[in-house]
Amino acid sequence: MVAFTISDYSSKLEFMNGYGAIMGFAMFVGALVPTYLVRLLFIWLTKRWDGGLARMLICNFLSLLVATGAGGVGMADGGPYQWGTAFFTYAIPQACWVFYDIGRARAHSDAKEWIRSDRHKE
């Protein structure tokens, strides 16, 4: 069993000639795009299911699994599979999309409540 810690991940970023923070930010921004696209794919595939927030959380979890799986293979570069590095690369950007979906779900439920209360007719 291979133990992987956050310090291992940060050391991989620091070796890049002192540009660890810049490369980390670039990896974060670069990870936002595939997690968003895979998330949209799962949302589209489950569009007939009116699961609300549970649907969004499941779609985000599946998106993280797919991004981590594909990223781990790509980061291996002929070596051993990089599960930990890929997970830490995609977990925070995927969490951003989870919080975005939670905010959208709350706004949607607030709007439904506002319409039901007939306050919009005043």
Helix (H, G, I), strand (E, B) or coil at 22: helix
Report residue 42's pLDDT band, with 50, 70 and 90 as the boundaries: very high
Q: Residue 111: in which H helix or E strand, if any? A: helix 83-116
Give dist(CA 1, CA 52) in Å, integer.
Answer: 38
Residue 77 DSSP symbol:
T
Selected residue with higher pLDDT from 28 and 10: 28
Report residue 6's pLDDT band, with 50, 70 and 90 as the boundaries: low
Give dist(CA 77, CA 61) in Å, integer.
Answer: 25
pTM of the complete model beyond 0.85: no
Q: Looking at residues 37-64, what average pLDDT do you find?
A: 89
Q: Looking at residues 46-61, what average pLDDT do you find?
A: 87
- Mind listing the pLDDT tens digit for each residue in 74-110? 877 777 887 888 888 899 999 999 999 888 888 877 7
- Mind listing the pLDDT tens digit for each residue in 54-70? 888 999 999 999 999 88
